[in-house]
Structure 1
Amino acid sequence: MAAGARQPEHCPQWAIRNGTVFAESGRCHFSGQPNLSIHPGAISRVAKRRETNIFSLSFLDIMSCGFGAVILVYITINHGTLSSGIQTDPERFAEVKKIEIEILAEQENQVILRNSLTLVDDAVLTTEQSIRDKLKAIEALTQQLLEAQSAQSLDTDGIEALKTALVKLQAERDTLTLSVAEAEGNDLRTMVGEGDRQYLTGLNLGGQHILVLLDVSGSMLDETLVNIIRRRNLPEAEQRASEKWQRGLRTVDWITANLPRDVQFQIIQFSTTARSALPETNGEWLQTSDTEALDASLAALQALTPGNGSNLHAAFTAAGALDPQPDNIFLITDGLPTQGATPAKASLVTAKDRLKLFQSAMSVVNLSIPINVILFPMEGDPIASPSYWRLAQITGGAFLSPARDWP
């Protein structure tokens, strides 16, 4: 307050001294001026200016932090949803579902066909048993007739009755034999596998001059290089018992069993060289009706032990030497060739070298002849499948990489 202000009757408890508010009993004093006093309202106004609303500041801080946390959570969830989403092509998905439905339909058709073939096989077996029973009855009647004629123990009517029964049984036998032949179709021989399994291969077995080329190289002993080397050191009988080699022989047996009747065939085996399964028939065609020649060819293959390298060039050259040319070729192999027209200079043949040897062999083959390739894949030869598939496609043949239990 200004000097000379009216002094209140009683001094307030709060006063200012040297710029500081303090409490004092008695009169109010100011520094150097004890008679100076301050009105209590002034002290109250100073105190009010210094008040701070702590609750308001804390509430704003909490609201700001909470709002920031909500924004952070929203951004995190939204980003995770976008980054982990999987884009699905509806057209591709529909196409996949269509293919799955077609596969299921084909599987059902195979089951129906397998059941039908089972019924046919059962009927054939029943008919064959009936034929055997009829033959036994014929033999018994014939024996009775001979005994009757020799002993003159029967009259003429009894003998004629036996003759009539014999003629009737012979007619039934001929009828049953014809029905069995019709059930077997055009197969040259009957080939029985395990169970009632049947296969649809898509191979065209037609033609007038059918050639089978069988790879008899050392790689036909097994599917892996380690096992091939191991089997080479075993006795020949154990080598011939190799599962992979037996699959190759069964494949030849299956093809020859399904050849048409009254056509010509030839089986050529090839490793480093190529020759007929029956050496005396090199360059000649054999008749499928000649069962002795067919059985002899298969027996010769059974006695053969796989060995040496694979020369596809020699196999195709031998095929071209046949007169007339084959009109259907079945190639049974397990990989690209390891030898060509000239002897290899290096002991190690790379995948690139094998592809070149394959291309060289294709230069001598008649591409107008359908070549059906049956491939038993081997370890370390990934180019074989596309190469032989391309060969089959160019020539109009078929490419087949069968299961281990086929045929």
Structure 2
Amino acid sequence: MARRREFSVISMSFLDAMTCGFGAVILFFMIITANIDLRRDTVLDDVAAEVDRMELKVLAGRRNLVELREELARLIEERFTTRGVKDQIMTEIDSTREDLVTQGEGRDARMDLIEQLRADLALLEAETERLAVTDDTAEEVGASIRAIEGEGYRQYLTGLRMGGQRIVILVDVSGSMLDRTLVNVIRRRNMPDEEKRRAPKWRQLVDTVDWLTAQIPPRAQFQVIAFNSEASSLVDGTDGQWLTANDASQLDEAVRKLRNETIAEGPTSLHAAFEAARQLNPRPDNIFLLVDGLPTMGAVIPSRAGVTSRERYDHFERARRELPIGVPVNVILLAMEGDPLAAPAYWRLALASGGSMMAPAEDWP
């Protein structure tokens, strides 16, 4: 009788099936792991690309930030430059506005001058007729008002003409009138007053004023004004007033006070001189300016010592605005050493006003 085979749960077939299943699981996990690694590499590549892109953005942003900072600095600099240009333009606008106002006043003044000249012309025609009857010229009568001694006939510079009915003589009596060089001016400044009055340049100034007053026509009105930091008439008590040339005593008094009582001292202010001439009413029709260089101050005394050539020229240009419009200015320049801008500046002033300019020799008049 055959023996029955015993049944075992763990048989070869079962083990084969379990092994195949386990192998399938392992294969499944291997496939999943491979896919995960592939996806991980893909994701990492994407992330790395994104990081690179962000780094490029950061670098570009930094470059843009540097450029923006440079642009901001440039704009700030342009803003300050524009502000300076704006201030300069505003200053020019204000100056132009003042010039326009001055020109407007000048037009009114010119109309008044035209009317005054017409009246003066009528008076001159009447005077000419009277002189034709009396056979006496103005020059002959003028010579009898004041006499001046000299070496022959010294009016050899024909550009200088003493004419007009209202004549102003502006005399610079500042410290620079002591000599023609700065060194000698400083040396003479510490001398006694009598020594200062004997300085050759000062004596020439006084003699020139003496000569000019002797040329004033008869019946003309005049004023002799001395100026340094301030301006005042050489005839006491006559500031802002016209004097008449018929009486030689007032002309003599002006020369006497200049020669015997006046001392050359202080800075030079053309502003004060021209302002004094402008205060005269009626306005002058002829101005004689005796000066030796550009002014050393403006309308006020400076707070610091010393002045540059450019500052002196600026003082001169500002002082010119105080001159009455349309009045000729005749300049007698007793030139000072080391002031090269003075001669061309005064020459332009005389030319623009219709006057004349001369720089006399040391023995004139």
* TM-score category, normalised to shorter length: 0.5 to 0.7
* Residue ranges of structure 1 left out of the alignment (5+ in a row): 1-177
Q: TM-score, normalised by structure 2?
A: 0.60
Aligned to 1:296, the other structure's residue is in SS state helix
Q: Are the counterparts in 1 of residues 269 and 296 from structure 2 also a CA contact under 8 Å?
A: yes
Give 1:292's aligned residue. 249
How far is 1:180 from its partner? 12
Match of 1:238 among 174, 185, 195: 195
Give 2:344's aligned residue. 386
* Residue ranges of structure 2 left out of the alignment (5+ in a row): 1-133
- CA distance in 2 between partners of 1:311 and 1:228 (Å): 18
Aligned to 1:245, the other structure's residue is in SS state helix
**Identity in percent:** 49
Match of 1:324 among 282, 289, 292: 282
| RMSD over aligned Cα atoms | 2.0
Q: Counterparts of 1:389-404 in structure 2 under 5 Å?
A: 389-404=347-362
Match of 2:179 among 218, 222, 225: 222
Q: Which has the higher contact order (CA 8 A, sep 6+)?
A: 2
- CA distance in 2 between partners of 1:218 and 1:206 (Å): 30
- CA distance in 1 between partners of 2:137 and 2:352 (Å): 37
How far is 1:182 from its partner? 9.7
Q: Are the counterparts in 2 of residues 273 and 311 from structure 1 also a CA contact under 8 Å?
A: yes
Give 1:361's aligned residue. 319
Q: Deviations over 1:344-371 (max 9, x none)?
A: 1320101011000001101111231000
How far is 1:195 from its partner? 4.9
Q: Are 2:237 and 1:280 equivalent residues in the alignment? A: yes
Return the letter of the residue paired with 1:394: A
Q: Counterparts of 1:164-203 in structure 2 under 5 Å?
A: 184=140, 186-187=142-143, 188-195=145-152, 198-203=155-160
How far is 1:196 from its partner? 5.7
Q: TM-score, normalised by structure 1?
A: 0.54
How far is 1:197 from its partner? 5.1
Aligned to 1:293, the other structure's residue is in SS state helix
Aligned to 1:279, the other structure's residue is in SS state coil
Q: Are 2:210 and 1:253 equivalent residues in the alignment? A: yes
Q: Are 2:296 and 1:338 equivalent residues in the alignment? A: yes
Paired residues, what number?
230
Between structure 1 and structure 2, the one with the greater Rg is: 1
Q: Counterparts of 1:104-183 in structure 2 under 5 Å?
A: none
- CA distance in 1 between partners of 2:155 and 2:289 (Å): 22
- CA distance in 2 between partners of 1:263 and 1:183 (Å): 12
How far is 1:250 from its partner? 0.8
Q: Deviations over 1:329-351 (max 9, x none)?
A: 00000000001112213201010
How far is 1:298 from its partner? 1.1
Q: Are the structure 2 counterparts of residues 318 and 219 from structure 1 closer, same or farther at C-alpha, using a change threshold of 3 Å?
A: same
Q: Are the structure 2 counterparts of residues 378 and 195 from structure 1 closer, same or farther at C-alpha, using a change threshold of 3 Å?
A: same
Give 2:306's aligned residue. 348
